Chains A and B, each alone.
Chain A
């Protein structure tokens, strides 16, 4: 590939801004200056879909109405562990208004099943709420009545839903896979030979970040101070505004799926694989989406069921989960019990970190505590052992910075305690052990805005309601998905259209794409039409891992740049110059040799030789290469958050008064939208810190608070004042140099609140959520 050398802004304005030279593909645009010198990017541009959303014109999956559409509902097991001996659907099939019934069956028979199976091939029930069968009918009510007519003959089996109980030798086993796996062989960043015994899987001691390092026991021997505790976090269930769901419209020649998904491409691929269809016959549309925090990447059992019902009935089928289903079966953030031991010298230098965790993702994997303890601070000696514990409960799912929020709760409380032992300010300790430049700036700017100097000694505030201040920080890697393509079309009537399969899950992807293209073309964002969330368009990345902005905006800019060059080529002769002497700004193409020679872009488009120009670009490699593979970029999406709380020492109630959240995401693209995401992450963090937790009944295996009445989310009065600081951090790694903020916004909040609670009452609380009973217990008042 031909390349050219280009100088990019590098570093943090007001701190260490300089330039860096990168070798970039010849066809890519020149470097943008820092945001101060741009017109649209980095500004508070209003959401392109704001009006559609506030007027109700925006159509979400649950709003989709198709001719002849049926409504699907699923029968779920009322028992947490059972074998199904038989299912009789005959009465449901005859029920008036029912068009199709489908029963989930397994592909292998009794002899091949891991735990006996059954002759009919029904899957074993492993949690209360597991879907068994589905009905498609003319209404939700009819479908639910028909479900009641399905007769299931169960053989009940013992179960366990509690994390500690599940680890006992006599506990009922969720998966009979008592296997010592063989090495996985070449490649891969995880470890080989991970074991599953009883309900315990692990320990996982390494990841792509590497394995254990140094000698932790020797590290502890050289420590002057040691902090050692067990930290506990709760199961946290997904509560997106829009529940999981699809509308599947199976036609003879193709299938269209309207999906509330974070990944149109993966839903298409899964559906095609599941039903043995070519991908070209499956189209997935997500025009508007009511939020997702990691659990909406797959087709899901509801999507498979809707597919079967639509295929059987010959009609479109809408299958939207209700709020209870959302709680019990659509995924959750696993809980954790974390043992953490940290050693340090008198000057704060860390000598060793030892971590051991157990968590349950119910009938699934992924209950680790992330790698934040491994990577955020310099420490020569580190080890971790992370175990999954299987229980007969709903499956875990990715949840906004998977594992890292749990891990941060332990790590950052331990650092707070260590600072106190060392008689150091928590910020000063971080200055010693944290080598991140961007977090250093965030600490400085955040402390100033928050007025950290107000912080008193723990428990020293007078009165019944005690004020406390705390802080915590986080790290998150910059991931990039190269399978990200954007197409841009310019039409003779002046329209500019951006097309990509990437979905906007509510964070404002449409708007930043409009900004990037408008900036490149010297136009206004409202002049750009964004059409995304449709697999008819070129493939875009899934919305996970804060990956979208860094993956999709560079090809958007690059495609716009190509379009600009093509337009220049077409009008250069008319402007009596060559295309290399033209520029585009303020809606005009202007000769750099004589700025009186110009043509409005809309007029230039009218003169095009063809009805439209189409250009496209895919995400290229990071300038200067990746840190690892072709996905892990250089740099850090660091954050530092400060919390101010009031704790009523008579009632135990904690009120978060204020959060100052300092964040970085490379080049910020839209300040208002970034603030929106940070606000959302903080609110979710406050909710995790104080309110939300799944309560399971050990006697029945059911979630007892699978609703939004007893599963507490914060109301407006419980949401603190939130101030954000966005630190520009240029690296010159792509044509936009921009990254996401979804995950980082959420990691540090809960533990910053916990540290503030400690500062208020002088007693540390090691378990989330920090409910009044825990506060009063800590104060020896109950």
Chain B
């Protein structure tokens, strides 16, 4: 089993994910993206699985360039 490092992608500050092993990713927590088939994602601004632009909330989509994207607070 290889070790993993937190993702260095600056995902939207309003993106959250709960992985199947109980850990939250996003916000104050680092992004490990440990399991993309079994994690739940939501936008806290739009309060669900669809973003403020009606598009899918998914880490690879919630990045700079999307209309509703906001960078994380550093």
Contacts and interface: CB of A to CB of B under 8 A. Distances in A.
A369 B38 CA distance: 7
Contacts of B34: 188-190, 207-208
Interface in B18-63: 18-24, 27-28, 31-42, 44-61
B7 A185 contact: yes
Contact of A368 (B9, B27, B37): B37
A389 B35 CA distance: 17
A477 B20 CA distance: 11
A403 interface: yes
A493 interface: no
Interface centre among B4, B36, B47, B50 (most CB of A within 10 A): B36
B37 A544 contact: no
A193 B28 CA distance: 25
A691 interface: no
Contacts of B60: 181-182, 184, 192-194
Contacts, number: 238
A184 B33 contact: yes
A160 to B, nearest CB: 16
Contacts of A181: 60-61
Contacts of B9: 184-185, 187-188
A724 to B, nearest CB: 23
A110 to B, nearest CB: 10
A363 B5 contact: no
B50 to A, nearest CB: 6
Contacts of B20: 366, 370, 398, 401-404, 545
A554 interface: no
A701 interface: no
A446 interface: no
A270 B16 CA distance: 9
A194 B37 CA distance: 10
Contacts of A403: 20, 37-38
Interface string B54-74: 111111110000011000000
A386 B37 contact: yes
A335 to B, nearest CB: 14
B27 A273 contact: yes
Given A365-B49, A479-B23, A186 B5 contact: yes
B21 A547 contact: yes
Interface string A292-329: 00100111110010000000000000000000000000
Interface residues of A, number: 88
Contacts of A126: 50
A130 B54 CA distance: 13
Nearest to B4: A189
Interface stretch (A86-94, A433-441, A625-633): A625-633
A227 B33 CA distance: 32
Contacts of A395: 40, 48-49
Nearest to A274: B44
B33 A366 contact: no
A627 B34 CA distance: 14
B7 A175 contact: no
B44 A189 contact: no
A661 B59 CA distance: 38
A177 B68 CA distance: 14
A182 B65 CA distance: 13
B32 A208 contact: yes
B35 A363 contact: no
A46 to B, nearest CB: 27
Contacts of A366: 20, 37-41
Nearest to A176: B55
A544 B54 CA distance: 29
A112 B22 contact: no
A388 interface: yes
Interface string A675-703: 00000000000000000000000000000
A299 B48 CA distance: 10
B23 A210 contact: no
Contact of A398 (B4, B18, B28): B18
Contacts of B23: 479, 481, 542, 544-545, 547, 631
Given A184-B7, A629-B32, A300 B47 contact: yes
B8 A114 contact: no
Given A204-B36, A274-B45, A363-B48, A629 B4 contact: yes
B37 A304 contact: no
Chain A interface mostly helix, strand, loop or mixed? loop
A468 interface: no
Interface stretch (A101-109, A456-464, A528-536): A101-109
A642 to B, nearest CB: 26
A546 B21 CA distance: 8
A266 B28 CA distance: 9
A402 B61 CA distance: 23
A365 B58 contact: yes
A182 B63 CA distance: 11
A201 interface: yes
Contacts of A477: 21
B36 A297 contact: no
B27 to A, nearest CB: 5
Contacts of B33: 184, 187-190
A98 to B, nearest CB: 22
B40 A361 contact: yes
Contact of A370 (B5, B38, B44, B59): B38
A367 B35 CA distance: 11
A365 B40 contact: yes
A196 B56 contact: yes
Nearest to B10: A185
A544 to B, nearest CB: 3
A629 B3 contact: yes
Contacts of A113: 53-55, 67
A545 B37 contact: no
A175 B56 contact: yes
Interface string A206-226: 011110000000000000000
A168 B22 CA distance: 34
Given A107-B68, A208-B4, A402 B54 contact: no
A263 interface: yes
A343 interface: no
A124 B48 contact: no
Among B14, B22, B39, find the residue whose CB has the most chain A CB atoms closer than 10 A: B22
The residue among B16, B19, B48 with the most chain A CB atoms within 10 A of its own CB is B48
A107 B45 contact: yes
Nearest to A357: B37
Contacts of A631: 21, 23, 32
A362 B60 CA distance: 19
Contacts of A184: 7, 9, 33, 59-60
Greatest chain A CB density within 10 A among B4, B38, B39, B55 is at: B38
Contacts of A124: 50, 54
Contact of A187 (B6, B19, B36): B6
Given A114-B55, A298-B18, A299-B44, 19 more contacts: A106-B46, A107-B68, A112-B67, A112-B68, A123-B46, A177-B56, A177-B61, A184-B7, A190-B33, A201-B56, A202-B37, A210-B1, A300-B47, A365-B39, A365-B56, A398-B22, A404-B20, A479-B23, A547-B22
28 contacts: A108-B68, A114-B53, A130-B48, A175-B56, A177-B55, A177-B56, A185-B8, A187-B4, A187-B7, A188-B5, A194-B36, A196-B58, A204-B35, A269-B28, A270-B16, A270-B27, A294-B18, A300-B47, A304-B47, A361-B49, A364-B49, A366-B40, A368-B35, A479-B21, A544-B23, A547-B21, A547-B23, A628-B3
